[in-house]
Amino acid sequence: MKARLPQGYGGGGAGNLQQLARQAQKMQDQMATATEELNAKEYEATAGGNAVKVTVTGEMEVKAIEIQPEVVDPEDVEMLSDLVMAAVNEALRAASKDKEETMEKISGGLNLGAMGMGGLF
């Protein structure tokens, strides 16, 4: 007995492959556009009740660090370092989360690293 595929499956191998390639190219174009937009965005985070404010870009680079004068204590440089580190890490997490969520929306949750698209972000 010969197995039969449901209607719409098989038969059009080359056509289906071309359609899949077009869909993949469209997804890759969308991801490239989204990556450009995300890289241009800025993310802010604060620590110590706004004593330290950090701005990072979507490219994960620190753009600005603002420190309120009253938090600068020569006797407690370690506390200031901790506040800066906390604000930087939080801003970077926000940027990373935004990129991850945006790419997941475009890809429908597919792991595209195996398809060579993982380098886009």
Residues 73-114 have pLDDT tens digits of: 999 999 999 999 999 999 999 999 999 999 899 888 766 554
In a domain, 70, yes or no: yes
Confidence of residue 120 (pLDDT cuts 50, 70, 90): very low
In a domain, 15, yes or no: no
For residues 11-37, give the mean pLDDT: 85
In a domain, 63, yes or no: yes
pLDDT of residue 15: 75
In a domain, 92, yes or no: yes
Write the Ramachandran bin of 49: left for phi over 0, alpha for psi from -120 to 50, otherwise beta.
Answer: left
Distance in angstroms (rounded) separating the CA atoms of residues 9 and 71: 67
Higher pLDDT, 52 or 111: 52
Q: Model pTM?
A: 0.70
Structure tokens at 5: 């595929």
Domain that holds residue 65: 42-100
Confidence of residue 117 (pLDDT cuts 50, 70, 90): very low
CATH number for the domain including 55?
A: 3.30.1310.10
| Number of structural domains in the chain | 1
In a domain, 18, yes or no: no
Q: Output the average pLDDT for the chain.
A: 85
In a domain, 118, yes or no: no
Per residue in 65-76, pLDDT (tens digit) is 999 999 999 999
In a domain, 24, yes or no: no
In a domain, 23, yes or no: no
pLDDT of residue 20: 87
Among 97, 1, 80, 7, residue whose Cα is nearest residue 43: 97
Distance in angstroms (rounded) separating the CA atoms of residues 50 and 71: 10
